[in-house]
Amino acid sequence: MLRIASLDVAYGGLRALDGVSIEVAHGQFVAVVGPNGAGKTTLFRAISGTVTPAGGTIHYDGHDLLAVPAARRPHLGIAHVPEGRQVFPSMTVLENLELGAYTEAGRARWRESLDLVLQLFPVLGARRGQLAGTLSGGEQQMLAIGRGLASAPKLLMLDEPSMGLAPAVADTIFDRIQQIHHEHGVAVLLVEQRVAEALESCDRGYVLETGRIVMQGNHDALIADDRVKKAYLGL
Ligand code: ATP
């Protein structure tokens, strides 16, 4: 579904991604983990089109994605839930969700998507008339994911959804992401610093360090890898 090959991104003289190759199959859950500054957000910006790679290719669902304008990419079924949530604070929960449904698929499937979002995150139903800026951090993250789902995506990209959340709230978010993937067949590309939780959830994972993929494998292989255990899982 998504095939990224030899991707290079530079900010001025700094190379943020260096020959990165990643694949996500239809309906697969893929995690990219790595420390601060590894290039995780940059990878998402390249897929969404807010940075232009210096080299490499991105193919998605039969499209040469780098030839598709950034504004068209959500209409191909790619939803990007950005780091730091970025909900519209002075709009209500429902208005934020409605904004997410601006894609063709999102408009066509609005009722169905709204039911799904409210089933996953009942608190958003209870607070549908509340201004998004007054929600707790965890609720804002749920809303950000809900807004992504409202576009009826085939690929949901989540940038550090657990950031700044208490462990119990982060666990709920990870559970819901797994539910979105398992029960609703949406492919998920997750970038996370919480390595243990991300690798626990995914089908396949990549470890990104200073712009390069240093390890990759399926869930079981990565969890069992001694280097992953030592460097990331504290074992
Ligand atoms: P974090 O987990 O801290 O968000 P990250 O893995 O998402 O980190 P990126 O935000 O992609 O990493 O940053 C990768 C590198 O590129 C870092 O060294 C960062 O300082 C640099 N960088 C990111 N955005 C810019 C920019 N707009 N201009 C210059 N350098 C940038």
Clarify whether residues 124 and 225 are in a common domain: no
CA 182/CA 39 separation, integer angstroms = 28
Q: Is 57 in the pocket of ligand 1 (CB under 6 A)?
A: no
Query: Any alpha helices (H) in 85-136, and if so which ranges?
Result: 93-100, 104-108, 110-120, 122-126
Clarify whether residues 132 and 64 are in a common domain: no
> Which residues does residue 190 pair with via DSSP β-bridges, in sequence order?
31, 158
CA 33/CA 232 separation, integer angstroms = 9
96 in any annotated domain? yes
Task: Name the band, by pLDDT with cuts 50, 70 and 90, for residue 230.
Answer: confident
In the chain, what is the straight-line distance between the N-terminal and C-terminal CA atoms, in Å?
A: 34
* Residue where a domain terminates, one of 151, 180, 203: 151
- Residue 222, CA distances (Å) to 25, 75, 202, 229 in order: 18, 33, 10, 9
What pLDDT, on a 0 to 100 scale, did the predictor assign at position 113? 95
Clarify whether residues 217 and 160 are in a common domain: yes
How much is the average pLDDT of 185-203? Answer: 91
> Which residues does residue 191 pair with via DSSP β-bridges, in sequence order?
32, 159
pLDDT in tens, 136-170: 999 999 999 999 999 999 999 999 999 999 999 99
Output phi, psi for 123, to 5 deg.
Answer: -60, -30
How much is the average pLDDT of 173-178? Answer: 94
Ligand 1: nearest atom to the Cα of 159? 7
CA 53 / ligand 1 centre spacing (Å): 14
Q: Is 162 in the pocket of ligand 1 (CB under 6 A)?
A: no
Check whether 129 has a pLDDT greater than 90: yes
Task: Name the band, by pLDDT with cuts 50, 70 and 90, for residue 196.
Answer: confident
Clarify whether residues 95 and 204 are in a common domain: no
Q: How many domains does the chain have?
A: 2
What pLDDT, on a 0 to 100 scale, did the predictor assign at position 229? 86
CA 130 / ligand 1 centre spacing (Å): 33
CATH number at residue 196: 3.40.50.300
pLDDT in tens, 22-65: 999 999 999 999 988 999 999 999 999 999 999 999 999 999 99
What pLDDT, on a 0 to 100 scale, did the predictor assign at position 88? 95
What pLDDT, on a 0 to 100 scale, did the predictor assign at position 194? 87
Check whether 11 has a pLDDT greater than 90: yes
- Looking at this protein, which amino acid is placed at residue 105? A
Clarify whether residues 103 and 146 are in a common domain: yes
CA 177/CA 207 separation, integer angstroms = 20
Clarify whether residues 65 and 105 are in a common domain: no
Q: Is 36 in the pocket of ligand 1 (CB under 6 A)?
A: yes
- Residue 115, CA distances (Å) to 14, 97, 111, 120, 125 in order: 44, 11, 6, 9, 9
Check whether 235 has a pLDDT greater than 80: no
CA 12 / ligand 1 centre spacing (Å): 12
Clarify whether residues 135 and 166 are in a common domain: no
Clarify whether residues 111 and 21 are in a common domain: no
Clarify whether residues 58 and 92 are in a common domain: no
Check whether 84 has a pLDDT greater than 90: no
How much is the average pLDDT of 173-190? Answer: 94
Clarify whether residues 160 and 145 are in a common domain: no
> Which of the given ranges, 80-84, 90-94, 166-170, 217-221, has the highest pLDDT on average?
90-94
182 in any annotated domain? no
Q: Which domain holds residue 119?
A: 83-151
210 in any annotated domain? yes
65 in any annotated domain? yes
180 in any annotated domain? no
Q: Token pair 């950034």 is at which residue? A: 70
Output phi, psi for 57, to 5 deg.
Answer: -135, 155
What pLDDT, on a 0 to 100 scale, did the predictor assign at position 227? 87
CA 40 / ligand 1 centre spacing (Å): 8
| Site to substitute for ligand 1 among 8, 11, 210, most atoms within 8 A of C-beta | 11
Mean pLDDT of the chain: 94
CA 37 / ligand 1 centre spacing (Å): 5
Clarify whether residues 144 and 160 are in a common domain: no
88 in any annotated domain? yes
Q: Is 189 in the pocket of ligand 1 (CB under 6 A)?
A: no
The structure tokens listed for 36 are 């601060």
CA 130/CA 217 separation, integer angstroms = 43
Other beta carbons within 10 Å of 136: 13
72 in any annotated domain? yes
Query: Any alpha helices (H) in 14-166, and if so which ranges?
Result: 40-48, 93-100, 104-108, 110-120, 122-126, 137-149
Between CA 87 and CA 95, with CA 93 as vertex, the angle to 5 degrees is: 90
* Residue where a domain terminates, one of 92, 120, 151: 151
Give 233's DSSP letter: S
Clarify whether residues 142 and 73 are in a common domain: no
